[in-house]
Amino acid sequence: MKYPLSILLILLSAPSLVSAQEQAEDIETVVVTATRTSRAEDKVSAPVIVIDRATIERSMATDMADLLKFHAGLDIARNGGPGQLTSVFIRGTESNHTLVMIDGVKINPGTAGGAALQQINPEMVERIEIVKGPRSSLYGSEAIGGVINIITLRKAQTGMSASLGAGSYATRDGSFDGRISGDSGSMGASVSWMETDGFPVQTGTELDRGHDNRTANVFGELSLGAALLSVRHWEARGNTEYLDFFLAPLDQDFRNQATTMQVEAGLAGNWQTSVMLSRVVDELSQNQSSDFFITERDTLDWQNDFQAGEHLFTAGLYLSSEDTRALSYGTGYDESTDINAVYLQDQIQSGAHDLVAAWRHTDHESAGSHNTWNLDYGFSLTPALRLNAGAGTGFRAPNGSERYGYGGNPDLLSETSANLELGASYQLDPKQQVWIRAFDNEIDNLIDYVILDFNTFEGINQNVARARIRGIEAGYEYIGQDWRFRAEGISQDPEDRGTGETLLRRASESLSASLVRGLGSHELGLDMLSTGERSDYGFPSPTRLPGYTLFNLTARMSLGNSWWLQGKVENLLDKQYQTVAGYTTSGRGVYLSVNYRSL
């Protein structure tokens, strides 16, 4: 399945779907993650994706992966059904090259792998901001492929909402959200619950594997004159059943949490300051053995913004203390790591020109010192046509398991990257926009497990691999009164420079689209994902996973001002496919929910 450049160009020239008399909602989308400051999305030079609350609600997604997979450049690999290990590959980079944050706080574990996206319930999420490309200049380690910032529900309006749903595979879920607001502040709490009996997660077995997730999110804000004090806590707990290599039934308990206290204040002149203290816990424990993985991280992030004419300066201090403990395959460790950093940024807006320059010095106790930077330039050639160019570097420090676990090597170097890109966007009219971007990302010192004894398969982790990822992505969006349409496509070459082969679990081409039709107070939607073939682990040589095309059908029926019914048919055509070799995916599923909102 191939999608050459010609298809991307056709996508860019797609015609209007409805008449020009329809009026789009004129709501400016603000992005924070790209620069650590609030900026209108159409003025951000870096490549960004914003998934708003309306899209999250319509999707009826059970976790983050179900939302992310319908966007260009975000490949998802899942080891089975809900709750199973899930990885995201942004623009062909490794799954641990994505920095994931909850409300601006890093939640990636320090033990092994990427953040637990499969445990984040979308019912707790207000919006998701995704920045593609390296952002280590602002956020440090892991931000090689991009950054995903998940912003939890914390609207200030007084009110409540609730939902109750059920569907295929004996899935049951419910949620409640309540908020109160006054002149001096606001507070609120959200809780959600989801259980499913699941389905057989691996080929060669008929044993269903279930999952349950209980999530809570609490926030409070208090105005203290020129200062704002806020407290936030997000926590997910539950259990996931799975199978081992020999198809024996196992299960594990998980706990993920992020707690934050933040003070924001306006000081003399145009000086804004923010001090954020946070604590993150990532815990996974096996119930049929003594194996476990635990990360505890305490962080202080002090950010200062100064407006001086056409310049907006940002300067900050980042101090983190991380403790990692693990026991796996008989190998255990207990290590503490301090990470200290300073970061600087200058945003210059002058007429049609927009320049962002950022730099960060990170002193990582285990991985040494790193200087990383970003330079993004935007030029409005006309009011409708905007050109963008960017360059930047990133790094990923070796995690605890790579240094001290099975095959551990304490002398590992950090993985590093250098990225270049060019892009353009064109506003066809107030309702339609097209965009295109090309990128080239080179990654060095990739960590790989090198076998030293082929009789026992014993080996050691070493910096032996390199990768180069080139690609072009494009999109079209229409937002009208009754119709909304979005299409995105990518053609990329994620190449292992040592072997010349395509990197595993990443498709070279994919195309996604979303069509939503408003029918008064009702709504119908159709989402499509078509992806090319990909390689995966195999013995003695990699195996090929065929491409696939998926459709999700969604519907919403209003029952008055406060009540509505919502439904989804997932995998409408009942496509059988795999994103990880040997692991199954969901067939056709039907899900319904009844919802209430007092706002």
Give pLDDT, residue 269: 79
Nearest to 234 by CA among 276, 279, 292: 279
Rounded percentage of the chain residues whose pLDDT exceeds 70: 95
Give the integer Cα–Cα distance in Å for 81 and 128: 22
Give pLDDT, residue 83: 95
One-letter identity of residue 95 = S
pLDDT digits (tens, 9 = 90+) for 315-342: 999 999 999 999 998 889 999 999 999 9
DSSP H helices, 122-264, are 136-139
Beta strands in 6-97 (DSSP E): 30-31, 39-40, 48-51, 74-78, 86-90
pLDDT band at 268 (very low <50, low <70, confident <90, very high): confident
pLDDT digits (tens, 9 = 90+) for 238-260: 999 999 989 999 999 999 999 99
Average pLDDT rounded to a whole number, residues 177-195: 94
DSSP bridge pairs for 521: none
pLDDT digits (tens, 9 = 90+) for 48-91: 999 999 999 999 999 999 999 999 999 999 999 999 999 999 99
Q: Check whether 10 has a pLDDT greater than 90.
A: no
One-letter identity of residue 258 = A
pLDDT digits (tens, 9 = 90+) for 423-468: 999 999 999 999 999 999 999 999 999 988 877 778 999 999 999 9
Q: Check whether 6 has a pLDDT greater than 70.
A: no
Residues for the chain: how many in total? 599
Average pLDDT rounded to a whole number, residues 493-511: 95
Give pLDDT, residue 8: 42
Give pLDDT, residue 361: 98
Give pLDDT, residue 599: 64
The answer to whether the CB of 504 falls within 8 A of the CB of 534 is yes
Give pLDDT, residue 210: 97
pLDDT digits (tens, 9 = 90+) for 522-541: 999 999 999 999 999 987 78
Rounded percentage of the chain residues whose pLDDT exceeds 90: 88
Give pLDDT, residue 200: 96
Give the integer Cα–Cα distance in Å for 183 and 186: 8
Instruction: Give the DSSP per-residue string, 457-500.
Output: TEEEEEEEEEEEEEEEEEEEEEE-SSEEEEEEEEEEEEEETTT-
Instruction: State phi, psi for 559 to the nearest 5 degrees.
Output: -115, 30
Pairing of strands 146-152, 98-102: parallel
Give pLDDT, residue 355: 97
pLDDT band at 27 (very low <50, low <70, confident <90, very high): low
Q: What is the chain's mean pLDDT, rounded? A: 93
Give pLDDT, residue 26: 46
Q: Check whether 420 has a pLDDT greater than 60.
A: yes
Beta strands in 290-414 (DSSP E): 292-308, 311-328, 331-350, 353-364, 368-380, 385-396
Nearest to 101 by CA among 83, 79, 127, 80: 127
Task: Tell me how many degrees the CA angle 396-402-408 measures, rounded to the nearest 5.
Answer: 145
Give pLDDT, residue 23: 37
Domain 5-156+233-597: CATH superfamily is: TonB-dependent receptor, beta-barrel domain (2.40.170.20)
Q: Check whether 16 has a pLDDT greater than 50.
A: no
Burial call 318-356: b when 16+ CB within 10 Å, e when fewer: bebebebbbbbeeeebebebebbbebbbbbebeeeebbb
DSSP class of residue 502 equals B
Q: Check whether 302 has a pLDDT greater than 50.
A: yes
Instruction: State phi, psi for 58 to the nearest 5 degrees.
Output: -65, -35
Q: Check whether 14 has a pLDDT greater than 60.
A: no
Give the integer Cα–Cα distance in Å for 208 and 213: 17
pLDDT digits (tens, 9 = 90+) for 363-402: 999 999 999 999 999 999 999 999 999 999 999 999 999 9
